[in-house]
Amino acid sequence: MKRNWKSSNQSWRSPTQVNWRFFDRRRALGLGVGLDDGDELVRQKKPVFIDFEASSLSQFSWPIEVGIAWLEGKRVVSESKLIHPRPEWPEDDWNPVSEEVHGIPRADLDGANSADDVVSWLLEAIAGRTLVSDAPEFDQRWLDRLLGGPGPQIDDFDRVLWMAFSHEDGTIAPGRLNKAYKNRLTRQTIHRAGDDAAGLCYAWRAGLGK
């Protein structure tokens, strides 16, 4: 028998603070629920963790590598691609200090995937998923620059952890948070997009207890 969500869930149509907290928590866990155009219950996909390396940290900087990671069961899957710069991206923004950090020579980008190809791959991989980064203020800029306009909103890793690993009444679940952050601290930051995105996903997995 099909359940009538229209009639039985009117309370969710005028949500209280507790209702919003419930939905925010489920979205963070990839268990988000809502109604589609036909008022049928739908469920969101689990989050994808994203990281970029860039030409510099300036406001004119452009992405040189993007990496994503997600959970398939208990397994962390990560992928990354170098990005051939678009002609309009300022070449003089290349920063040797940033190159020392990520270790990607400028010449390596000449044979990299075109920005358009990377966009196609990325949008297919992240379709319908929540994007999570530990530096959304930078990664959002580079995602938007790669796409040539405003892209999907990237959520903050710490905010998502606290939202996901809290109880329904809003109090935190310190055991899960401790496991996530302990895993995060024990993993070295490589400053390569795929590895760093995977590091976030490993911390997430630890918090989930998988």
Domain ranges of the chain: 5-43, 48-208
Binning pLDDT at 50, 70 and 90, where does residue 24 land?
A: low
Residue position matching structure tokens 């919003």: 20
Question: What pLDDT score was predicted for residue 171?
Answer: 66
Question: What pLDDT score was predicted for residue 22?
Answer: 53
pLDDT tens per residue, range 3-13:
333 333 444 34
pLDDT tens per residue, range 148-184:
999 999 999 999 998 888 766 556 677 888 999 999 9
Task: Decide if 68 contacts 197 (C-beta within 8 A).
Answer: yes
Question: What pLDDT score was predicted for residue 16?
Answer: 53
Write down the pTM of the prediction: 0.80
158, two tokens: 């710490």
Tell whether the model's pLDDT for residue 31 goes beyond 90: no
Question: What pLDDT score was predicted for residue 11?
Answer: 41
Tell me how far apart the alpha carbons of residues 158 and 22 are, in angstroms, rounded to a whole number: 18
Q: Which fold does the domain 48-208 belong to in CATH?
A: Nucleotidyltransferase; domain 5 (3.30.420)
* Mean pLDDT of the 70-80 span: 96
